Chains A and B, each alone.
Chain A
């Protein structure tokens, strides 16, 4: 898919030029998005619209631009990107270009420059010293940074919805618990294998339900098998994982017996306390205190993890980043090279991660609650697929596909 932003000016509402242009775009096989529309207040006041035109390929786009150009739609891409220095720290100049998570380029001195680290809801910063353009979140803007203003000289390449004739397209269409799960999980597994073979990293974003449901061991298996390179979680997943490793319980419940154990409700606090006393998860692993579990596997297998804090955290563990903005930035650093994201049983963390991932990363969202899966799958990423199911059977099946248990009878 290719797209370009055009501008229409004049009495485009009364003259029906705007609806005509939009109709022409669709008639010629394109789609449009109205980015900006300023309607004249009085009859004699002109109106102005910025419309992003998207077509299946460059040839279609040219045909559309040629046709709508006759009705006065002028491509803004012909212009240079407009840069304005930030006047304050931590905020964009007025009229800043608001980024999408799609691949984006800006035009400088007649050349298209790819914007590094595509991320939605950011600005674009151009560094004249290096000639490079990068997305920049609001809080990282520094006075004097050159920020792209308006849509002129910016072009975006949305991910092609139709070219991906696989389970992602099939599943993204709707979210339901009535899916053939075995088939879907097999497809997901195949996709993860392909991504790994191509050198892409796999990111797992997981909630504490992974531990509560007894699925921790499956995730451990995936980590040990080399199918997880990055883990994003909160204090709870790590705390309950360590609680289980140290006490065999999760929130005081015995995962073997399925029963509460005496004084079990204190276990997670004792676990957190133990880690705080020793100075962190890595230290606990190195000193032999933490011998199993997901966090142990992460340290043992060199998986990067970011634990982001929340207001309800106990402790928290010393590894938890309690400044939300710093946690976001840490996550931004760790997603470089990720090509598949698996989001399991966590709503806010998954959304936070979805916010910073480029559209090219394929997302797998698994939750027992259809609303969570729908929310994630509908976030504008065409490459998100959802599966409504309990996390334990999901992770069990995924681990079986990717890291089959070897028995005397061979591979199960």
Chain B
């Protein structure tokens, strides 16, 4: 993490399973509000107190249960907020809240062409100068063309083929400029070849840990905040010189998210790029 970069989070005051828009969500399996609050608090404290990350908070809004997953708000580069265009109407309602927050802080709000879908950092992650971007399940590939044009960078489009890994940040996690965790079955053969071509040291994650959202981790320098119980991934991270910071976020798994989904990198204006 670059020192000036902060993380935007939203307390889970109104979090809950109120609709089903991915295979993880099941209205018969509601989230426990108390446990969710405690888990979120533990994540927040790990980030702020243990790792010294500057976290900014978005005020929760009643009726927007997924506002807690701030990673999907958009993609932030210094001074500019590329707003998401959500696929589902349930989440489209979150958009004005995010935009208002960034506008109030002087960010230029940029929107992708009408008719495209883009779900923010959930589907767009930096590794070096390239933006790895997922498509097909939530974001569509035409949004990638728009992003490339707006940001003047290379956008490597990765087809997501498993509905359980519906956002790129559920199956791909850049660790630094050379390494990334990824879950191979979430991609097609072309996507795996792209990852092998452009990630110097890709680290494959097994089924068990991938389904525990091991890839949905927040990387802070050499520390990796990851769902607890991902034993194999923790071991691998240590072997690569990283320190796993396990946190249990199982209540959020019910909505299809974990650590990374709960935060959006917000680089300051001096910083070149997010992440």
Contacts and interface: CB of A to CB of B under 8 A. Distances in A.
B142 interface: yes
Contacts of B130: 43
B163 to A, nearest CB: 14
Given A10-B157, A11-B156, A71 B149 contact: no
Interface stretch (A12-20, A134-142, A243-251, A378-386): A12-20
Nearest to A16: B190
B198 interface: yes
A11 B142 contact: no
A14 B141 contact: no
Given A14-B194, A14-B198, A9 B157 contact: no
Interface string A1-42: 000000001110011110110000000000000000000000
A70 interface: yes
B179 interface: no
A17 B149 contact: no
A72 B145 CA distance: 9
Contacts, number: 58
Q: Which of B129, B145, B156, B191 has the most CB of A within 10 A?
A: B145
Contacts of B191: 16
Given A44-B152, A46-B149, A70-B136, A10 B144 contact: yes
Contact of A9 (B129, B145, B154, B198): B145
A9 B141 CA distance: 10
Contacts of B188: 20
Given A15-B194, A43-B154, A20 B144 contact: no
B11 to A, nearest CB: 36
Given A10-B155, A43-B130, A44-B129, 5 more contacts: A15-B156, A15-B157, A16-B194, A20-B188, A72-B157
Interface string A42-53: 011010000000
B158 interface: yes
A44 B129 CA distance: 9
A72 B147 CA distance: 14
A118 B194 CA distance: 43
Interface in B198-239: 198
B145 A14 contact: no
A14 B128 CA distance: 15
Interface in B110-164: 129-130, 136, 140-142, 144-145, 148-149, 152-159
